[in-house]
């Protein structure tokens, strides 16, 4: 029970991150009889999308959602005073895994060299490259080894989310909601605004 109480947040994030994989699994067929052969199941898309387009859509959507969630953790703490570093780490892992999965799907379908044919593809590729070291250092051992450098490394997540937004803007996807959330998050981080929010929150606590 002690383990569950201590890690329930991390476990919830892990479950939420894994569940959509079952949807993707229904869209592909893996044949191990003659080596490794992966093929798409036809007519698994929706809203007029092909199976491949649906794979792109789902993996990309969850990647940007988790990245947005990670970067809203600090504003959430400022407003509500609730923080859990390891839940944030779990969200970061989910964002990186879904981003890498999105890229792998693209490479398997289009080829690696296609990555460099358009600006939006390059932006997405660089975002994935940034997320890989963040993923590899999202553990307690890395935190202890890197110490203050760990926080500096994690600030590169801002570059990753910016490049990801460029990626989906150039693809003309629904990006505005993510941009609004992130902009509000950055506004809340402004020292003067942050101080007023924290003071108001603490004053409400004292009144109770």
pLDDT in tens, 129-148: 999 998 988 877 888 888 88
pLDDT band at 52 (very low <50, low <70, confident <90, very high): confident
pLDDT > 90? residue 126: yes
Q: What is the per-residue pLDDT for 147?
A: 81
For residues 205 and 208, give the distance between their C-alpha atoms in angstroms, rounded to a whole number: 5
pTM value is 0.85
User: 131: which 2 tokens?
Assistant: 């997320």
> How many Å apart are CA 170 and CA 199, to the nearest integer?
40
Predicted confidence (pLDDT) per residue in 61-74, tens digit: 899 889 888 888 88
Number of other CB atoms surrounding residue 183 within 10 Å: 10
CB 13 within 8 A of CB 94: yes
Q: Mean per-residue pLDDT for 62-89? A: 84
Please say if the pLDDT value at position 39 is more than 80: no
CA angle 96, 99, 103 (to 5 degrees): 135
């Amino acid at each position: 029970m002690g383990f569950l109480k201590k890690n329930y947040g991390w476990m919830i994030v892990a479950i939420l991150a894994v569940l959509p994989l079952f949807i993707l699994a229904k869209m592909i067929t893996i044949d191990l009889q003659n080596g490794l052969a992966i093929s798409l199941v036809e007519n698994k898309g929706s809203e007029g999308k092909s199976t491949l387009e649906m794979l792109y859509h789902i993996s990309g959507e969850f990647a940007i959602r988790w990245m947005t969630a990670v970067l809203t953790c600090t504003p959430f703490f400022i407003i509500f005073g609730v923080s859990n570093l390891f839940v944030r780490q779990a969200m970061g892992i989910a964002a990186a895994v879904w981003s890498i999965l999105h890229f792998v799907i693209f490479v398997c379908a289009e080829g690696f060299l296609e990555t460099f044919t358009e600006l939006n593809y390059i932006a997405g590729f660089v975002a994935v490259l940034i997320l890989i070291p963040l993923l590899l250092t999202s553990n307690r051992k890395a935190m202890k080894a890197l110490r203050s450098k760990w926080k500096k490394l994690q600030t590169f997540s801002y570059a990753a989310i910016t490049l990801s937004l460029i990626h989906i803007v150039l693809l003309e996807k629904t990006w505005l909601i993510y941009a609004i959330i992130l902009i509000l998050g950055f506004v809340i981080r402004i020292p003067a605004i942050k101080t007023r929010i924290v003071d108001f929150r603490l004053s409400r606590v004292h009144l109770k």
